[in-house]
Chains A and B, each alone.
Chain A
Amino acid sequence: MRFLIAAALAAAPLLLGGTGADARPVSYPGGITVMQELDPMMGSLLLHYTPNRHYSIGGRVLRMRADDWTMAGAQATWLAKRWNMPGSQANLYLAGLAGGAWRDGEGLHPAGFVEAQADWETRRVMVMGMARLTHVAGDGADRIGTSDMQMARMGWAPYAGDYGDAHLWLFAQLRRTSDAPDEIVPAVVARIFYRTMLVEAGVTDRGGLILNSVFRF
């Protein structure tokens, strides 16, 4: 029952039209991508390969910085739907990770997550959101259990850069995790990208650092 409630909470932002965090989690056929994320709650490193335009496969390590546990495993991401429109593009991605998790100094437990994310963007406006439901098996003293997280972003580009320019985006971000159920953490994030390199830096309302990057090869 608790799992179902968590699943419903995790899906809520998507049902409300919310959207995602990673920049293009499915690339072009043959593309390799490295994505790194860091915020006060979590750190993550994802390396994925895109066999065709519909999905990517890779490995991911996530560190829950606030709760001192780590999860690692294989991740698959499916581009469920893409809408290509004359002045905009929208995407719906579904992802899953299967692997293991452990608290610092404790044993390994089977673990995984399911995730949905979506985005819509024009050259000047972007809306993104994602929801993730994580489960770690085991009922011992080092129990981690089930948790969910949602994030939503709205972004604006101060200028419409051309092909080959450095592009700047400014985002307002909201993030919630079930580990801190009464807290929705606002943040501002600046994104700059050039060709296939993307860097984000931001700060939460409590002064926490956000530092993300994406490299595509």
Chain B
Amino acid sequence: MKKLFVAVALATSTLAAAMVLAAPATATATSSTGAQMVTVKVNGLVCDFCARSIEAMMKKRDDVSSIHADLGKGEVHLGLKAGATLDDKTLTKLITDSGYAVTAIIREPK
């Protein structure tokens, strides 16, 4: 049993290290033609590992084309697909479910 736990620890750590080295670069927000860019100002956004929950939540949606978090400014930048809408209530719920508190939502173009 002892050896099993040590083996699991070594295996998972090695796997994590390999995945870190092999993982692709993170997506950045880009504006598609006619698409809306949304900046969500949030409190509590200090940790990249935790902020990935926002990315995971947004990736489930068809209307979001890109996501990037600015940890320094406490902002989440979303790119919406052309013609897509994501209302403030839904967006606030998604960010709240991800673990953060929304303080403002800014849309460009409005």
Contacts and interface: CB of A to CB of B under 8 A. Distances in A.
Contacts of A122: 46
Given A27-B53, A28-B99, A53-B97, A87 B74 contact: yes
Contacts of B46: 87-89, 121-123
A194 B8 CA distance: 20
Contact of A85 (B44, B70, B97): B44
Given A24-B49, A28-B56, A84 B2 contact: no
Specify the main secondary structure of chain A where it touches its partner: strand
B6 A28 contact: no
A158 interface: no
Instruction: Determine the interface band of chain A, counting residues with CB < 8 A from chain B.
Output: 35 or more
Interface in B40-63: 42-54, 56-57, 60
Interface stretch (B10-18, B30-38, B78-86): B10-18
A63 interface: yes
Contacts of A192: 20
Nearest to A84: B44
A84 B42 contact: yes
B47 A63 contact: no
Nearest to A192: B20
Contacts of B101: 84
A53 B52 contact: no
Contacts of A88: 44, 46
13 contacts: A37-B9, A38-B9, A53-B98, A70-B1, A82-B44, A84-B101, A85-B43, A162-B72, A198-B49, A201-B13, A211-B9, A211-B13, A216-B49
